[in-house]
Every structure is written in C-alpha cells, then in structure tokens.
Structure 1
Amino acid sequence: MHMDIRQLRYFVTLAETRHFGRAAELLHIAQPALSQQIKQLENELQVELLDRSTRPVGLTSAGISLLREGREILSKVARAEALTRQESRKNGGRLVIGVTGTAALEFAVPVLRAFGKRRPNVQISLREMSSPDQLAALERGHIHIGFVRPPVEDERISIRLVHTEPFCVALPADHLQAQRDSIRLAELNGTSLVIFARDEAPGFRDLMLHVCRSAGYVPKTIQDAPQMTTMLCLVGGGFGCALVPVSARHLAIPGVVYRPLLDYSPLVELYAAWMPDKHAPFISELLDVIEKIQVSTG
C-alpha cells in the first residue's frame, strides 16, 4: 500500500467540500485529475472512501476514519514544514547584497569574511550595481541591503554611514606628473578628466567635480564612463586622469598609477541602505559585524 501526502490532501479537501468541482478549484487542478487521484487512492487502500450515489458526495465509514486521521497528519506536516522554515531562517537562508565597484574592493571583503564566520550557513549573493540601481533594487525587493554612495533621498530607505576614505588621482603611467610622489590637482590643468556618468553615480560625480573646482583644476575635456573599471581603462589608454577613492588602487590596470592628493578634499562616504518595512533577514547582524570591524580598526 502506498499513499502520498498529495493524495491525502486531495482527499481531505474533497471530503470537506463534498463536491468534486469545488475541491478541484481549491486545489488548482482539473476535476478529472482529482477524480483519478481519489480513485487511485481507493485502489491502493482497497477500500471505498466515497459514497458517490449521493449529492453532495458522501463518505463511507472508511472515508470518515481517513478524514479524521488525514486532518491530523496534514496538521503535523504543516507544523513540521513551518518549524523547518523557522530553523532555516535562524541558521541558514540567503542574503542578497548590492555593492558599488569601489566598495567591493576594500570595504566588503573583511565584512563578508566576518559575517561568514558568524553565519556559515547563510548563502551570500553579491551583486555589483551602481548606487541608483541599488536603490531601485531595494524598493523592488531584488536585494536585501545595498552599499551606496550618497545622496539617498528616498525617506523610506534607512541608511547608515559605514565607511569613509580619501580621494587619490589615477594617472596614465607616462603622464608628466606621474613621476611625482603626490600631486596637487591644479598641476593637472590641461589634462582631461575621466569621470562617472551622471546617471550612474550623480552624487559621486558632483563630489568629484566639487573637489576639482575647489583645487583649481580645470580639465581640458570631461569624458563620462559608466563604471570604475571603464574609467581606469580610459586613464590607462591616455584619455585623461581620474579622481577615485584610494580603494581603487587595488585595481591593477595596465598603464595606470595612483598618487595621493596634496589638496584638502572631503572624504568619500559609503552608506548601508535597506528597506526597514521589508524585514529582510540578517541585516541587523550584518550591521553589527560592520560596527565591530569599525571599532577594531578605529
């Protein structure tokens, strides 16, 4: 004898509704398929469960007994499934993280390593995205938390400052100023500037331009690029210099050198961003890991 949970659920639904059509509708299957499954169950048990001569459909004594036991079995199955999911959320699960390219270079690595040690059963999905794309993905529920550059103007999104770093200059290796140990931006007058496109990182772009203007740097031309690696490839190709966070130095692009700035400039800020109303898993723990790393390195 073999009776699976699906057949038992079909029978209990039919026994409670006493109507094949209604039961099939509730179960989202065709009525002939339901009839076939119930008949197969009766054949396997070698008993008649239904009195098909009445309207609504009646139950035999065997059917009444199976209904009583079936309800209890299905209740236990549902409880077991709920407890399993609860335990999975506690000890496992999945966390989808958005991150900008430069944040992934330096900030994200120790954070992910520390979080992985705390929650080894949690699957981490890391998605490199621009800040505007991350904010849109948070709203749609495509990521649980993002690490973005300001500004964040949507009041529904919670943010927390998690990392700051200074700017440096990326130069073509054959640029005259590349031989210097450190650089003032005004010394680059006449050199073209490679910078983030506005739709990719509007806040970051505005900050870069502010730093350049404040330092008296007037670029020959301005060339947009969609991503940090694209910017640095253009720099390596001799198309200009770029103002980048110091973490970009981890990108070893042929023909590119990185030099510290002598000019005063604001720090580059990175914020954690999440939707508090979506109750995404593990966010508080990830933020706690970040805070502990900041304290230990501060």
Structure 2
Amino acid sequence: MDVRQIRYFVTLAERRHFGQAAEMLHIAQPALSQQIKQLEAQLQVELLDRSTRPIGLTPAGMALLHEGREILAKVTRAEKLTRQEGSKDGGRLIIGVTGTAALEFAVPVLQAFGRRRPNVQVSLRELASPDQLSALERGDIHIGFVRPPVEDERMSIRLVHTDPFYVALSADHPLARRESVRLAELSGTSLVIFSREEAPGFRDLMLHVCRSAGYVPTTIQDASQMSTMLCLVGGGFGCALVPRSAQRMQIPDVVYRPIMDYSPPVELYAVWMPDNYAPFIGELLDVVEKIHIREG
C-alpha cells in the first residue's frame, strides 16, 4: 500500500462515486477501479459496499478512511516542511558531473551558486554518464551533467553546454606542429577512446566523427577516464578526440589542435528526476544558464 493508493481510496470514499472521484484525480475511471481492487487484494479485505448507490464503505473501509486521512495530512505537512527548509539558506545539493563537464564550466558555476547560496552544502561527484543516471534513480544525487543519450522518459533534461571537438596528439607527433588538423591525415594513427561501458553515447559520436572525416585508425585503445585517455596519448599510444575544454588538463607531452573537418558539437545535458525535485535545482540551472549566456 502506497500513498497514491491511499489518496485514490480516500477521494473515492469521500465522493462515493467512481466517475466523480476519477475526474478529481485526473485518471480514467477503469484505472481507478483497478487500483482499488489491487488495494483490496493487498489488504485481503473488501473496502467498498458496491451493492448500494452511492457506494458504501465496509467497516474495514471506514477504518482505512480514518487512518488514510491522517496519513495524507502528515504527508502534506511533511512536504510543506521540507519545502520550507529547502527555501532557507541551509541545505544540501549533490551534483554529478563527468570529468569533462567539470573542466567545462563547473568552477564558474559553483562560484556563482556559492555566492547566491553561501550556506548550502554542495557535494560534487565525478561519475560516468550511465552511472549518473543510475545514481539519479537511486536518489544518490540530485542533478547530473551528462553526455547523451538520456533515454529514460521519467527524467527531465536540458541542454546546458556545447563544445567543439579538438584532437589531442603527443607532442612528437608529426601533425603536432600544425595549427589545425584534418582527421583523414591521422589515418595510420591509433585512436584512444572512451570504453563503451564508460560513455557509450560519447564513444559512438567520436567514431561517427572519425568515419565521416575519413579517419581510419590502425587500432582502438579503450580508456575509462579523460585523464587516462590523455596519459595514453602523451605516452605515444595514439590520438584522441576530446572537447575543447580538455586542453585545460595539463598532461605532459600532450598538445591540442582544432580539427578542420565539420563535426557536431559535444553536448552536455543537465538531467534530474522531476518526481524527486530537490531544493536549489532550479537556482543551479538558472546559474548555469547565466554562465552559458555570458560565455557565449
């Protein structure tokens, strides 16, 4: 028995009419009837006397109506108190980011949010995009900043940042002396790329960009993190396609060059669970938008 079922039953018990109760609850009448039958099956009792018009309540139904009203009142009170606490300066916001998201804009966003809400405790967790989506489902983080795709329709998403692709090369690579690079010129060079488990959407985008530009790597080397990718590049194990912001990572013997080929931008999305909308998410998104507009 959950709060939704209790709300359905209390509304029906007060209206004594399936059609009117369904209209108040904004659900179809058959769906309401099914929910009540499921509730009766769970409790193993009959709650309604369906032989009368309007419908009546059994003794068990009367007991549940009394307790259900109290439960709903407590839930409403808990929601109100939670929102009141969340509107104060204190509170906590747990944010998930990919490694490259942290490089792109996390510092200015956190600085601006900190000035707005100085007493809010902010926790930052670096997680791969799939791991962030799982963490959102579990309630371990309040909001994440991920690479596409986000295919869970229960989640709300918003595009917050785009970045062009650059190529990361070892400093002694022949093309490292160029100001910009065509990817086809890298044919014969190994490609260092995110593993499919770590960033499936990002990996597919990188491979699409390479194929479209005529770059055929000799081998593909998987890596789990951006720092690992760039260390492999610096060690001479290949090149890597990275967001422009990756050049903020100062890895020895790695240089970054813009690519001359057309490629779609690297997208970053904010994602959160609307059913678990934590305090301050709206303010954080407002800060992100203002930072993005100013930088754009």
* TM-score between both structures, scaled by the size of structure 2: 0.71
Structure 1 counterpart of 2:130, one-letter code? P
> Hey, what does 1:211 align to over in structure 2?
209
The reply on whether 1:224 has 2:213 as its aligned counterpart is: no
Q: Which amino acid aligns with 2:174?
A: L
Give the partner amino acid of 1:161. L
* One of 137, 140, 143 as aligned partner of 1:142: 140
The equivalent residue for 2:182 is 184
- SS in structure 1 of the partner of residue 209 of structure 2: helix
Would you say the 8 A contact 2:182–2:259 is kept in 1?
Answer: yes
Structure-1 residue corresponding to 2:153: 155
Amino acid paired to 1:140: R
**Quick one: distance in 1 between partners of 2:272 and 2:86?**
22
Contact 2:83–2:279 under 8 Å retained in 1: no
Equivalent of 1:275 in 273, 276, 291: 273
- Structure 1 residues 88, 189: CA separation in 2 closer, same or farther (over 3 Å shift)? closer
Instruction: Give the structure 1 partner of residue 194 of structure 2.
Output: 196
- Distance (whole Å) between structure 2 residues aligned to residue 220 and residue 243 of structure 1: 15
Aligned letter for 1:280? A
> Which letter does structure 2 place at the counterpart of 1:153?
E
2:259 & 2:178 partners in 1: Cα distance? Answer: 11
Indicate which of 87, 94, 103 corresponds to 1:96: 94
Deviations 1:247-275 (A, max 9, x none): 00000101111011011100000000000
Q: 1:165 to 1:83 in 2, by over 3 A?
A: closer
Counterpart of 1:118, as a letter, is R
* Whole-Å separation in 2 of the counterparts to 1:88 and 1:161: 25
Q: Is the 8 A contact 2:230 2:251 kept in 1?
A: yes
Cα distance between partner residues in 1 of 2:103 and 2:143: 17
| AA at the equivalent of 2:283 | E
Q: 2:237 aligns with which of 236, 239, 246?
A: 239
Q: Counterparts of 1:84 and 1:198 in 2: how far apart (Å)? A: 39
Q: Quick one: distance in 2 between partners of 1:233 and 1:296?
A: 32
Residue 115 of structure 1 aligns to a residue in which SS? helix
In structure 1, how many angstroms separate the alpha carbons of the residues matched to 2:267 and 2:85? Answer: 37
**3-state SS of 1:284 partner:** helix
Counterpart of 1:107 in 2: which secondary structure?
A: helix
Tell me the distance in 2 between the aligned counterparts of 1:147 and 1:236. Answer: 27
Q: CA deviation at 1:292?
A: 1.8
Q: Is the 8 A contact 2:92 2:121 kept in 1?
A: yes
Cα distance in 2 for partners of 1:284, 1:188 equals: 44
Quote how far apart the aligned CAs of 1:106 are: 2.1
Q: How many residues align?
A: 218
Cα deviation code 1:172-231 (max 9, x no counterpart): 111111111110000001000000000100000000000000000000100100000000
Assess if the C-alpha contact under 8 Å between 2:97 and 2:146 holds in 1.
yes
Q: Which shifted more, 109-118 or 141-150?
A: 109-118
Deviation at 1:294, TM superposition (A): 2.4
C-alpha spacing 1:280/1:239, structure 2 compared with 1 (3 Å)? same
2:123 is matched with which residue?
125
Residue aligning to 2:36: none
Partner deviation per Cα, 1:37-58 (whole Å, 9 max, x = no partner)? xxxxxxxxxxxxxxxxxxxxxx
Whole-Å Cα distance in 1 between the matches of residues 273 and 287 of structure 2? Answer: 19
Letter in 1 for 2:277: H
Using the TM superposition, give the Cα deviation of residue 85 of structure 1 relative to its aligned residue in structure 2, in angstroms. 9.1
Tell me by how many angstroms 1:297 deviates.
2.8
**SS of residue paired to 1:112:** helix
Distance in 2 between residues matched to 1:269 and 1:232, nearest whole Å: 20
Amino acid at match of 2:170: P
Deviation digits for residues 139-195 of structure 1 (CA, Å, limit 9, x no counterpart): 000000000000000001100000001000000111111111110000001000000
SS of match in other structure, 2:88: helix
Question: 1:276–1:208: structure 2 CA closer, same or farther, 3 Å change rule?
Answer: same
Deviation, 1:86, is 3.7
Tell me: CA distance 1:133–1:255, structure 2 relative to 1, closer, same or farther (3 Å): same
- The runs of 5 or more residues in structure 2 that have no matched partner are 1-76
- Give 3-state SS (helix, strand or coil) of 1:244's partner: strand
